[in-house]
Chain A
């Protein structure tokens, strides 16, 4: 709707623009011959044009505002549906939601403007023709050349613009990357060097920027000159008309007016350029939306005690087989540790249970149902994660623990995760805003654990979620978890022998395969197994 009323206002403005030169001409002729005929009509058209002009700004702002918001909401929902599998880096994603969405939202308005501009130009040409057909003919001769130049121009801008955006994204990504290493940079005193490194793509950006100018330059000056010379040609023709008595002096004004309207069409290099921007923006947004989010299934009921099975699960990343034909049964209600050297595929195995990653082949089942068959809400209720480096969501520490659950005992969960004591020492306890709660890695992990414990699930995947705790705290938390989650299936990815020892079973992974399953005691006799723990 706003788009339609915007179009109407733009059209009204164009009509006023087209009507005024003829009215000015006839009024001026009337004045020269001593009357004021047509003066009122002229004033009315000018006022009408001004009103439309105002409406264009009002409606344009509201259309751009609402459309941009709609695109952003759509894009962010899509990126969240893709989740951790999305191929965009966070920095790139932000840049697309902030900018590409705005550019894409403006695209139809720009098209309306460009179309209206073109219509005004064509209208100007037609009216030029009716005012003095000889002038019209003279002008038409120049058109094909000008059109040819304009067309060539648009293509060049789009590709140059794409390269420019690419260089820009590179700098943005380097900057975000540097910020993740800020403590190292601070300790090494390498802030200046980092600045230089982040700015390394700058010359490329600069070159792309200058390339855009030179693309414009060729088109702008050639077209400017061409348009001006064709105008003078037309004026000369009209002048001869005046001398021959077929054109009045006032009509010279109409010819000038319509000429400028007709040539404004070719003068719209900037809007064509902006259309190029919008095109590039729309393409960047389309890239975001083109990535298919994973599909969920439709098996709504899940009954059983929580048995997890991996059947021939293989996951290939690039050329690496991160998981290689994994067959593993995690009996219901059992705490199974997953151990192995760094890079053996432990975390990835955990990811496949809650579909944070999908296997390339094979399947993972919970109580006999493949996880791919479950609708998202069912799967999320069935599988809960805790991570080594959790990202807390929500406004306060308490809200972060209860985030996304309707009813939960935040405090009890925090107590079990041994997070209660330090949270109470925060300035406003559980109500402390996350931004005011500086946490060490270990504290963050415990809040992340509390968040997992606050949720009731069939299966819990604790991915190295206690690596930052000291041995004593870990033992305490481990016992609390055992008590709280008794009878629920747990997959505990761990580095420490003590953690494995506390579990009922251990799956020992090596190069993407399960090497052996057994109790920690049984496996311990194998020196290769002890080597995993450095013993």
Chain B
């Protein structure tokens, strides 16, 4: 995921790479400069020459500062646009997955998604940022320290290179073990989020039942599991730290241990000896320690986090376009059957019905016998296992969504202005909205909210008020088939009857579904026994 993102940011990456070379200048030169400054300057009794050499180093540092400053916006571009992509992906994946989840009438939001959105994405951002900021100069430092030392004396290639190669060979194994542990921590964290979400969504019921302690228990268990996973991860981490710290110290110990021999054989001058030690202690050691420690930790975490985001938020599968515009409003169901599973009892079996254009079909029946499923089938939201639904002779699943509207019992009011909520399905003018609001008796509600430009806080509205908003929204839409699935259940009886009458008078075909029948309206009715 990261790689494919990086590919789209080629220009920024090229600039980063270019500036990075400039940034590595001081690391490459430092040992050489110190050796030369000592051998030809300070140790040779001409300190001015030594100082001049240090001046060269200062110049390189100024260049490095300029490079560092210049590289930041490019790093920000890479990291922040990556984070934007991840957020988009999680949101898109979550919504589409929820939409594709067949047959769910009542929805409970999966709170783990919050952990993904705010936790994992944030972690990926932090880690990517840390990686591009630290890994980049470190890798260069590591390389140039070896190159610089080898330039002083080829034997340094052996002293520094061999332990380095050993560490880099063993290293991947510890990284893999760490990735497994890390994954366990991430999964435990998701469980904490899921349990917390369940508990918080049920706060009212928990308080009403007085079961705070027991409800908190699930979160406590998850939190403790997370703590245990964190400790287990720490153990693997410690092992790796041991390996890499030791690996970093070995070249230094070898150089100093072999020092007398190297100096005696004139392989190194005293200045070069100090310069070589500088490369090891000031550059190789810290860089190696950071790469194998911090940076590899970042890397493991990042790969685990990205895998998790990838697993849980698949991009949506393209849906077949619905573009048909039927010429009449007649609704026909033929031999309709539907069941939830292969072996489950069918919820709808062999249903035939016809509702004339502009007609009103009222479906009533006991609770929980599949009325909502029937609503979804008639509105073309679910596809039947056999049989078909036609609107004006066109299969309902091919009809443009704007032609059909379904209002479920749980009305959807979103964070936004009242106008945005009411214009969700159409681009109605204020006058059209006004008319619908008056017709449906929502004027008091609109006034209380403060007009169309005011922001709606769904949680401050009662269930009935939310239903009113959804009803106005559909009333002003261009839908020629409206399905009200218990859409007025939270209104008081007077308001409910008024709404039904208004929708009956609205042009188009109407299907209302409820568990009770109000008898007086002229319409076609169906008592539904499942």
Contacts and interface: CB of A to CB of B under 8 A. Distances in A.
A470 B68 contact: no
Given A183-B410, A393-B205, 18 more contacts: A57-B241, A80-B212, A83-B203, A94-B193, A98-B192, A169-B118, A175-B91, A182-B98, A182-B107, A185-B99, A187-B376, A187-B408, A206-B83, A225-B68, A249-B38, A343-B464, A470-B516, A534-B495
Contacts of B409: 441, 468
A133 to B, nearest CB: 18
Q: Which of B98, B264, B425 has the most CB of A within 10 A?
A: B98
A239 B52 CA distance: 11
B434 interface: no
Contact of A49 (B94, B230, B245): B245
Contacts of A98: 114-115, 118-119, 189, 192-193, 196
B203 A79 contact: yes
Contacts of B271: 249
B259 A31 contact: yes
Contacts of A470: 364-367, 515-516
Q: Which of B113, B118, B201, B249 has the most CB of A within 10 A?
A: B118
A286 to B, nearest CB: 18
Contacts of B99: 182, 185-186, 191
B166 interface: no
Interface string A61-91: 1101110110011001101111110100111
Contact of A468 (B111, B197, B282, B486): B486
Contacts of A184: 406-408, 411-412, 470
B260 interface: yes
Given A50-B246, A182-B98, A422-B368, A172 B118 contact: yes
Interface in B101-157: 101, 103-107, 109-111, 113-115, 117-119, 122, 125, 129-130, 133-134
Contact of B209 (A94, A176, A389, A404): A404
Contact of B203 (A84, A198, A217, A239): A84
Interface in A473-509: 473, 495-497
18 contacts: A56-B241, A73-B219, A80-B216, A83-B206, A176-B113, A180-B410, A183-B408, A191-B99, A213-B80, A214-B72, A224-B65, A235-B57, A242-B42, A252-B38, A438-B340, A439-B106, A440-B368, A472-B366
Interface stretch (A34-42, A138-146, A148-156, A359-367): A34-42
A387 interface: yes
Contacts of A342: 462, 464-465, 490-492, 495
A66 B227 contact: yes
Contact of B204 (A49, A99, A356, A533): A356
Given A89-B459, A183-B410, A58 B87 contact: no
Nearest to B96: A191
Contacts of A97: 192-193, 196, 219
Interface in B194-221: 196-212, 214-216, 219-220
B105 A534 contact: no
Nearest to A441: B409
Interface in B225-258: 226-231, 233-235, 237-239, 241-242, 245-246, 249, 252-253, 256-257
A422 to B, nearest CB: 6
Interface of B is mostly: helix
Interface stretch (A299-307, A375-383, A517-525): A375-383
A468 to B, nearest CB: 6
Contacts, number: 518
B500 to A, nearest CB: 10
A228 interface: yes
Nearest to A191: B99
Given A98-B189, A209-B83, A469-B367, A50 B242 contact: yes
B84 interface: yes
A517 B94 CA distance: 50
B296 to A, nearest CB: 13
B310 interface: no
A72 B223 contact: yes
B6 interface: no
A28 B256 contact: yes
Interface stretch (A118-126, A329-337, A442-450): A442-450
Interface in A174-221: 174-191, 194-195, 197-199, 202, 205-206, 209-210, 213-214, 216-217, 220-221
B422 to A, nearest CB: 13
Contact of B231 (A61, A73, A343, A422): A61
B376 to A, nearest CB: 8
B227 A65 contact: yes
A187 B379 contact: yes
Interface stretch (B273-281, B327-335, B348-356, B503-511): B273-281
A191 B95 contact: yes
Contacts of B227: 65-66, 68-69
B316 interface: yes
Contact of B51 (A224, A239, A533): A239
In order of increasing CB-CB distance, the 8 nearest A-B pairs are A61-B234, A181-B412, A442-B367, A380-B210, A83-B207, A225-B65, A65-B230, A534-B494
Determine the interface band of chain A, counting residues with CB < 8 A from chain B: 35 or more
A24 B94 contact: no
Contacts of A210: 76, 80
Given A77-B216, A185-B412, A533 B95 contact: no
Nearest to B53: A239
Contact of A94 (B200, B226, B408, B491): B200
Given A24-B281, A187-B379, A216 B47 contact: no
A341 interface: yes
Nearest to B371: A440
Q: Which of A21, A189, A220 has the most CB of B within 10 A?
A: A189
B263 interface: yes
Contact of A61 (B230, B463, B465): B230
Contacts of A440: 105-106, 367-368, 371-372
B114 A242 contact: no
Contacts of A179: 94-95, 98, 107, 109-110, 113
A228 B231 contact: no
Nearest to A193: B424
A381 B211 CA distance: 11
Q: Which of B38, B119, B205 has the most CB of A within 10 A?
A: B205
B416 interface: yes
B179 interface: no
A186 B26 CA distance: 59
A32 interface: yes
A390 B72 contact: no
A65 B193 CA distance: 16
B268 to A, nearest CB: 10
Nearest to A212: B76
Interface string B433-450: 000000000000100100
A468 B199 CA distance: 24
A391 interface: yes
B234 A380 contact: no
Interface string A311-329: 0000001101000000000
A236 B415 contact: no
Given A66-B227, A69-B227, A225-B64, A443 B367 contact: yes
Contacts of B109: 176, 179-180
A512 interface: no
B34 interface: yes
B297 to A, nearest CB: 9
Contact of A31 (B45, B66, B256): B256
Given A79-B203, A176-B109, A184-B407, A28 B277 contact: yes
Interface string A151-179: 00000000000000000110111111111
B255 to A, nearest CB: 9
A102 B265 CA distance: 57
Contacts of A240: 42, 47, 50-51
Nearest to B232: A61
